[in-house]
Structure formats: structure tokens, C-alpha cells
A and B are shown apart, each in its own frame.
Chain A
Amino acid sequence: MSDAVVIGPIRAVRRLPGVAIVLVLLIGLFGTIAPGFLSAANLANVLVQSTILIMLALPMTLIIMTEGIDLSMGAVLTLTSLCVAIVSLATKSMLLGLGAAVLVGTLFGLANGWLVAIAKIPPFVATLATLGMAHGLSLIVSDGQSVVGIPHSVRDIYSAQLLGVPVPILMGVASYCIFHALLYHTRFGTYVFALGGNREALRYAGLSPNRLLIAVYAIGGMMAGVAGLLMTARMNSGHPTAGLGLEFDAIAAVAVGGTSFERGNGWLLGTVLGVLAVGVLRNGLNLVSLPSSVQVASVGLLVILAMFLDGLRSRA
């Protein structure tokens, strides 16, 4: 095991500056100007609110490592959140709701993967189209209305605690551990690096890049399904526009976290720090009474800045 962790720290030290400095600066900034930012309750709040984003940003990291993108994630999350609401309302079963959400999410992920890998449609356009489809389906199944009255078993997930730790945080930590193991300790993870770094190498090794690519997108859809459960629990309802635009926060977190859009260079811990940076930014702006519109604009600037620096770094 001691061998296994060797790569992590080397990369961490090499890359720590960027995203960690951003995070520390943001915490320092809001610690001084935002009253109550550093309170334990608020920090716990930031963590809890970041869990949904973590669940999207982790698979988004893998997708971006393959030189792809998934713009549909927020819309798919909205749809799966509605699935949770509708199915659990009808069956009174949280697990059936989760199952339906994961199924729908995975189907969308498979569709994205198929469009990108087999139909060879550029990922930006393919997933923009499935964004429209998922958004449309959300409107259709909900008839544009909120789905309310969902069972306690769903709602309680967001507020429950296990050994004094909120369940959403545990879910976020578990997701990270699973993705860490998947990316750094399995064959599949090794091949994800190769999908972006050198697809030829995979072909030489007798592996099918297309199937791997579909799997990567399918995992993204599946995680959107799991996150859908949390979303419904958090809102205590299903809402047809609840998660729209969340994919942007996920992309921002990945970009800020130091994963490169070229050559298959991904860093999961950086993504987690990126998620926290986005969470702190939104929370802090909120505390100083700036509206969510300013939050959205600043995340947009953050992405443009991160992409610019990423480009400079890869040209250097």
C-alpha cells in the first residue's frame, strides 16, 4: 500500500499551488468580509451543500480527461431528481426511487457515450442536444409543476446524521473514495488516463477505446442519478428546473482543480478542492448579500480564467 500512494503526493505537491491557493484566498477573503462565514455551522453548511456538486464533478473529471465534456449533467440531474420524487411518491419506497433515477441517468449517460464514441458527434454538441432532451423530458413528466409530498424516507436523507456526521457528507466522502479507487487502482482507471493521453496506445494494447468512452459517460449519467436523490431530499420536492446549470459548476470545479482539457491529465483531489472553492465562493457571496446572479457570473469568470491558465500551462 505504501507504494500505491507514491504517485498521489508527487502530483499533489507539483500542482498544489493553483487550486489550493484559490481556496485559501477565498476562505481568507470571506473570513474577513463575511460575518459568520468561519462559524462551524456555516462551514458544515458549505460541505453539505457541496455534496451534490462533488457527485457531478468527480465523473466530470473522468469525462474531461478523455477530452470530452458533458453539458447534459445538470439537466439529467433534474430529470433523475424528478424520477426520485415521482417514483417514491407512487411507491412510498426511497430505494425504488433511487433505482429509477440511476436507471434513467445511466441511460442518458449511455446515449451521450454512444453519440460521442460511435456517432462521432463532437461532445459539446452531442451533450447540448441531450441537455435539451433531458430538460424537455423533465418538463413533460412534471408538466412544468413541482412534485411535492414526497415520503419522509427520501427527505430524511439530507438531514440525517450518522455518528454525528451529516449523511450527505458521508455520501460525498464515499463517492470520492470510490472514484479514487476507480481511477488510480483499477484497470479501467488506467485506461481512462490513456483515453485522453494516447488513444493509440490503447489500440496497440488490443483494447477498445470506444467501449471505454461509453462507460465513462455512462458513469457520469449514473452519478447524476445518485445525486438526483440528494437533490430531491434537499428540496423536499422534485422541481423541473432544479438542477439546470449545475453542470457548469461541475465543469468550473474540474477546470479550477487542475484537470487539463488535453492529454488526459486528471486530478481527483484537485476537483474536490475545486468544488469547495466554488462552494465557498457561492456561500461567501451569499453571506455578503450579493445575489445568486453575481455568483453565477463569478463562476463564469473563474472558468474562463482557469481555461486561459490551462492553455498557457499546456503551451509552456
Chain B
Amino acid sequence: MSELAKDTPRPHWSFLSQNAMQLFYRLLAAFLICAVLSILSDSFLNLGNILNVLRQASLTFFIASGLTLVVLTAGLDLSVGANVALSACLAGMVIHQTGSPTLGILTGLLAGGAVGLMNGVMVTAMRIPSFIATYGMLWVLNGVTYWYMAGETIHGFPAGFRLIGSGYFLGLPIPVYLLLVFLAIGSLFAHRTVWGQEIYAIGANPVAARLSGIPVSRRLLLVYTVSGTMAGLASIIFLSRLNSAEADIGESLTLPAIAAVLIGGTSLFGGVGTIFGTFVGSLILTLVLNGMNLLSINANWQPLVTGIIVIIAVWLDMKTRRPAS
């Protein structure tokens, strides 16, 4: 032991257990919020409300889970909200024109993925910092969507399609099943595939990752494409749930998605974070917003509260996690 002590000046702590602690704190926070809300509001513990929270959280989670991969590589995708809007409008239009939900779903996923791929190309081949590239993309997408929709609203979709967002199966909303499926897929991808490992390595130190033989550019392309495709998936759920598509549906989605990722413990500096953490982050954010709703606080407060939560989350993360290196 004395031999080892020489090499480890600081107390031994393993990274896994530190991550576990971080996750534990977040789950604790979620439970505390639940406890407070159930005291403050009679309708919180109502089954309908809880299912509603889960459904809301799943929408945030779909966008945030793809975004988590981007943030794990120390990047950011500011275009996710605008991507959801464009994909939803395109998918809605295709369903209306062809009457085929399958084609619509494919269109939404493909459009989302294509936007993500373009983000990836800007970040890798054109070497534009991800913040600026995706920020420019946000406005390009906004413009294209508004132009395409020309102020119209598409609504009224086949009943089968509407089941995706608003249907129930064995008493649970279908989005909740999708949430569980994608939570599992995302976690497996991040923790049980070589790609996932490579993404963590890139985020932790991109130079070392490249010099360890990881094809960094190709992996970044993959990550941005996945993020875009997840936005495309979210657009389908939105479309099905709202039963309508409008150009402005993405405007209030980006900040909550980023908030969910950061609350979930994914570091803005890359290499640290989990998909499950993002799920917990989505849950916490939704609980807070739902609680405000139940306590009859005007929805106008939501952006303000979300902004404050983002700052607190980043600040806590930097205070508790980053040891001097």
C-alpha cells in the first residue's frame, strides 16, 4: 500500500463511483421536487398528471438524448429545435399529400438526419466551431420552414398516426414506451458499443483520441447525424401528438433540451455524462415546469426558469466535477 500511496497523492476515488454519486444526487433532487409538489398541489400525484409528466419528459428526452452525444464530444447543436420544426412540417406535408404515415415518418427521420449530417460536415470538413455552425443552421432552417409553410398550418392526420403521440397501451402513453426503448438503445450505444467508447474518448481529449487511431471526423459526422435523426424522431411524436404542424413549433425546444442534457450531468467540456443522466435531467426539468403549471404560475415564467436552471446546472457541474488537471 505504501508503494501505491506514493503514486496517488489524492485520496482514491474511482470515476465510476463519482458518476454514481452524481446520478444519485440528481435522482434525489427529482424525488425532492416530487415530494414538494405532492405537498403543494393535490393534483400532482394524480395518475393522469404523472403520465402527462412522463409524456412531456419523453419529448424533451428524444431531442436531448441525441444532443447528449454531441455535448459528449464537447460540441453543441443549437439547431435541434429548428430541425424539429422543419422535419415535422415536411413529414406533415408528405402525410397529407400521400396519405401514408410510413412515408411521412421516413421523411421526418431523413430530413432530421440530413440536417444533422450537414451540421457534421460544417464542423468537420469546413472546420467551423460547432456553436456557430449550428447557430447559423438554426436560422437557415427557420427561414426555410417559414418559407415552406408560408403561414399555413397543416392539421388532421390519420388516426393510426395520431396513436404514436397520444395513444395508450396497457394504460401507459405510447411515447413512454418509445422513451424506454430509446433510453435502452441510447445507453447501449453509449456504453456497450465501440462507437460509444470512441465518442467518450473524443470528448475527453480529441487530440489523444486522434493519435490513438480513432477516426475523429467520421465519428463526429455520425454524432451530429444521430442528433439530427433524433430531432427528426421527436418531430414525428410532436406531429402526432399536436395533430398539426406549424413553422414555429421548434422555437421553445432548444433551450429545454440543452437544459436537460446539462442537468443530467453531461459536461459542456466533453467526455463526461450518460444518456440515463439526460433522462433524469429531462424528468427534473419537466417536473419543475409541470409543478409551475399546477401551482398556476403563468407559462410566461418558463423560459426564465429554464435559463436559470441551465446556469445553475453548468455552475454546479463545474464546481463539483472538474478537478484541476
Question: Chain A interface (Cβ within 8 Å of chain B)?
Answer: 69, 71, 115, 119-122, 124-126, 128-133, 135-137, 139-140, 143-144, 245, 248, 251, 261, 291-301, 303-304, 307-308, 311, 315
Mask: chain B, 137-169; 1 = CB below 8 Å from A; 0 = not: 111111111110010000000000000000000
Can you offer 26 A-B residue contacts whose CB atoms are under 8 A? A119-B314, A120-B318, A121-B311, A125-B258, A125-B262, A125-B310, A129-B307, A130-B307, A133-B307, A135-B303, A135-B304, A136-B305, A136-B307, A139-B303, A140-B298, A291-B147, A293-B146, A294-B143, A296-B146, A299-B143, A300-B136, A300-B137, A300-B142, A301-B140, A304-B133, A308-B128
Q: Is the CB of A293 within 8 A of B143?
A: yes
CA distance A115 to B310 in the complex (A): 12
A295 proximity list for chain B (CB < 8 A): 143
Question: Chain B interface (Cβ within 8 Å of chain A)?
Answer: 76, 78, 122, 126-129, 131-133, 135-147, 150, 247, 255, 258, 262, 268, 298, 300-308, 310-311, 314-315, 318
Which one of A133, A299, A308, A315 lies within 8 Å of B139 (CB-CB)? A299
Q: Decide if the interface of chain A is mainly helix, strand, loop or mixed.
A: helix
CA distance A140 to B141 in the complex (A): 28
Which one of A121, A131, A245 lies within 8 Å of B315 (CB-CB)? A121
A139 proximity list for chain B (CB < 8 A): 298, 300-301, 303
Q: Decide if the interface of chain B is mainly helix, strand, loop or mixed.
A: helix
If the complex has contacts A128-B255, A301-B136, A304-B133, are A296 and B143 also in contact, measured as CB distance less than 8 A? yes
B133 proximity list for chain A (CB < 8 A): 304, 307
A304 proximity list for chain B (CB < 8 A): 122, 128, 133, 136-137, 140
Q: Is the CB of B302 within 8 A of A136?
A: yes
Name the distance in Å between B310's Cβ and chain A's nearest Cβ.
Answer: 4
A125 proximity list for chain B (CB < 8 A): 76, 258, 262, 268, 310, 314
CA distance A311 to B135 in the complex (A): 16
Which one of B127, B139, B147, B298 lies within 8 Å of A303 (CB-CB)? B139
Name the distance in Å between A145's Cβ and chain B's nearest Cβ.
Answer: 11
A69 proximity list for chain B (CB < 8 A): 131
CA distance A248 to B138 in the complex (A): 10
Name the distance in Å between A164's Cβ and chain B's nearest Cβ.
Answer: 37
Q: Of all chain A residues, which has the CB nearest B71?
A: A125
Q: Of all chain A residues, which has the CB nearest B269?
A: A122
B303 proximity list for chain A (CB < 8 A): 132-133, 135-136, 139
B143 proximity list for chain A (CB < 8 A): 293-300
CA distance A304 to B76 in the complex (A): 16
Q: Is the CB of A140 within 8 A of B301?
A: yes
